[in-house]
Amino acid sequence: MSNEFNPRRSSPLLIVISGPSGVGKDTVVQRMKERGLPFHFVVTATTRERRQNETHGQDYWFVSKEEFARMIEADELIEYAVVYGDYKGIPKWEVRDALTSGMDVVMRVDVQGAETVRKLAPEALLIFITCEGEEELERRLRERKTESSDSLALRIATARKELQRIEAFDYVIVNRDFHLDDTVNKVRSIIEAEHLRVHPRKVNL
């Protein structure tokens, strides 16, 4: 019997970046893209209106409610949910094609969506992004100025509830102001460590 060490390439990971509104999930994923990290970034489908700085097919797939209903009927979504009155969902084909090619897949979803993914794919890697506390979270949400006062109040209340769901995740990272690259480095370190596990995660969808 040979005692020679023979390292194996672990299976591709399904990485979920999640957390409450206002903690910087979108910004973290955007910086990961800017740095050219070797992941397939899933684009979420949504029925909400496109904001001025957003690009169809890059930030989201912006679809009508009729088209979204068709996708649900055809079982084309890994998960979907109503978020602040609009539908959001993850297209199955993007994730499956990327995993089949051997690429790690990164998806950015809300806390409810992350828990749904965990039920469908128990071996998914769930990373919770947060900030220094509830007061900081509320400040960030107010400074965005993208919603009416009623919508803002609902988003703040929801975010506070989402902070309590941290136990459903594998890792937590505090995304501090002006430390974006530090946050991205921690995400990358987690992913690199996961690929070194003796018993790797194996995602089946």
The residues that bridge with 173 in the sheet, in sequence order, are 129
Q: Which two tokens stand for residue 109?
A: 């979803």
- Print the SS3 string covering 84-133: CCEEEEEEHHHHHHHHHCCCEEEEECCHHHHHHHHHHCCCCEEEEEECCC
Say how many C-beta atoms besides its own lie within 10 A of residue 104's C-beta: 20
Largest CA-CA distance found in the chain, in angstroms, rounded: 70
Catalytic residue of the set 108, 118, 140, 155: 155
The residues that bridge with 88 in the sheet, in sequence order, are 46, 81
Tell me the one-letter amino acid at 173. I
Rounded-to-integer distance, Cα 188 and Cα 194, Å: 10
Catalytic residue of the set 51, 70, 160, 176: 51
51 is known as an active-site residue:
yes
Catalytic residue of the set 50, 70, 144, 160: 144
165 is known as an active-site residue:
no
155 is known as an active-site residue:
yes
HSE-up of residue 18 (Cα within 13 Å, Cβ side): 28
Query: Which residues are marked as active site?
Result: 51, 144, 155
